[in-house]
Amino acid sequence: MVSQQLVLALETERSNSFLPSRSLMQLKGIHHIALNVKDLDRAERFYTDVLGFQVTHRFSKGLRHLMLETGNAAIALFETPNLKVEEAMNLVSEDGYLHLALEADPADFKTIIKELQTKKIQIDNGPVKRGNGESVYFNDPDHNHLEIHCDHPK
């Protein structure tokens, strides 16, 4: 239970801050989400062949990476072959909730699950009810935690 003193202190701090209560920024949304992968070619096959995304850009100068079009934002896959991320991903995803959630149409949800199974993708959890919809959870080949979610019409 939060003490009344703590609440009062937080309200006083906020009222004394120099930050406006409402941001003046006019952001359009999310441009891209960046994920680390050990093998860019393997990751590209997963995200294009399994999930159906399209490569829009390839970059070979500096850190080798590519951009995938997902419909409403992009995913950038950065090749980091020596980065050991499995333990860290499990920590922030199992103890925390770090994951990338992808949206599906409710009419396609069962077909998507069957396709994941046909393509031998291990579903770690689901389908499970989440809010006003359903979700399935699985990992990409580099242990990035993914969710496919659909909202059911009200």
Q: Are 76 and 55 in contact (CB under 8 A)?
A: no
**In the chain, where are the structural domains located?**
29-82, 84-154
Q: Which CATH architecture does the domain made up of 29-82 adopt?
A: Roll (3.10)
Asked whether the domain spanning 84-154 has the same topology as the one spanning 29-82, the reply is yes
pLDDT score recorded for residue 99: 85
For range 72-82, the mean pLDDT? 91
For the segment 16-73, what is each residue's pLDDT rounded down to a tens digit?
A: 555 556 778 888 888 899 999 999 999 999 999 999 999 999 998 888 999 999 988 9
Q: Which CATH architecture does the domain made up of 84-154 adopt?
A: Roll (3.10)
pLDDT score recorded for residue 1: 46
Q: Of residues 139 and 15, which shows the higher confidence score?
A: 139
The angle at the Cα of 49, spanning 152 to 126, to the nearest 5 degrees, equals 35
